[in-house]
């Protein structure tokens, strides 16, 4: 079994098809999307692993196949509507249905309104928010035809709290993901479709070494500072996010929709 996570157990997604955007990892180790894809497969889902980089998607799919799970890999620019539409059509042709849509594409660019370029503002909104919109735009018609589906959008504690980092566009984008998810949930509640967001707090994933570490003297200082900032005294892992996604994707969450679930070790419960 690959590192981390849990054994298949009850196989809570048996027979379901999960389409996961952002299934690769930003670097060596386990990112949120990679861990979610493997977790879904361990619980019986057929997983379509999608990433901008084909090699990253294939790495995740190969881990699943080595565990005798069912996975395919695809490359797609999730900010391109035509590319997303074509991918969804391919998945429907091959799988016949999409039961779980998991939107994990994310990006944080440091800078407040003064420092941030307009291009970086739009890029941050596109990667965090437009990707959710486009995936839903092209998957929802199929879920409506099925009268069933679970949509999971990965947001952030930054959607509702200042996390100490100067990334204005990221705060705005993740707050929008939360409200976009709520709107989806209520619009489609009577159609058998659920939509929920997950708000990871301070997590120890490869992404922080690419996008956050520049705010510290060195990576070790970053880890120490982020661990200390968490009420539990440690950052969370990608598996914490994956396990929350598994629950929201499963029928055990059949009466849960419109939720923005913190997975943060208590971080957003603090005043300071």
Distance CA 20, CA 136 (A): 12
* Helical (H) or strand (E) element with 50: strand 46-51
Query: Residue 132: which residues within 8 A CB-CB, separation 6 or more?
Result: 103, 105, 153, 177, 180, 181
How far apart CA 114 and CA 60 sit, in angstroms, is: 38
Q: By three-state DSSP, how is residue 40 classified?
A: helix
CA-closest candidate to residue 261, choices 165, 182, 191: 182
Q: Can 255 be counted among the known catalytic residues?
A: no
Q: Of 107, 167, 170, 171, which one is the catalytic site residue?
A: 170
The number of residues making up the chain comes to 272
Helix (H) or strand (E) holding 115: none
Alpha carbon 175 to its chain centroid, in Å, reads 15
**How far is residue 201's CA from residue 93's CA, in Å, rounded to a whole number?**
37
Alpha carbons 21 and 176: distance in angstroms, whole number = 18
Residues 62, 264: Cα–Cα separation, whole Å: 29
Q: What is the DSSP letter of 227?
A: H
The residues annotated as belonging to the active site are 170
């Amino acid at each position: 079994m690959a590192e981390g996570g849990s054994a298949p157990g009850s196989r809570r997604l048996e027979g379901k098809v999960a389409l996961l955007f952002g299934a690769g990892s930003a670097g060596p180790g386990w990112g949120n999307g990679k861990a979610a894809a493997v977790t879904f497969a361990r619980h019986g889902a057929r997983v379509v692993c999608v990433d901008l980089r084909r090699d990253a998607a294939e790495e995740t799919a190969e881990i699943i196949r080595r565990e005798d799970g069912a996975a395919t890999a695809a490359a797609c620019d999730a900010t391109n509507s035509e590319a997303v539409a074509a991918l969804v059509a391919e998945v429907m042709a091959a799988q016949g249905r999409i039961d779980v849509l998991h939107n994990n594409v994310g990006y944080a660019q440091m800078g407040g309104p003064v420092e941030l370029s307009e291009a970086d503002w739009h890029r941050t909104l596109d990667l965090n928010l437009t990707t959710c919109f486009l995936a839903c735009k092209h998957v929802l018609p199929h879920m409506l035809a099925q009268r069933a589906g679970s949509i999971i959008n990965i947001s952030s504690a930054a959607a509702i709290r200042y996390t100490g980092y100067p990334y204005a566009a990221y705060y705005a984008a993740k707050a929008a993901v939360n409200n976009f998810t709520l709107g989806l949930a209520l619009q489609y509640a009577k159609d058998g479709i659920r939509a929920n967001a997950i708000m990871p707090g301070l997590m120890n994933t490869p992404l922080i070494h690419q996008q956050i570490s520049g705010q510290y003297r060195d990576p070790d200082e970053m880890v120490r500072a982020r661990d200390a900032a968490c009420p539990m005294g440690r950052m969370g892992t990608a598996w914490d996010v994956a396990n929350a996604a598994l629950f929201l994707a499963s029928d055990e969450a059949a009466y849960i929709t419109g939720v923005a679930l913190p997975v943060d070790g208590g971080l957003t419960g603090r005043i300071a």
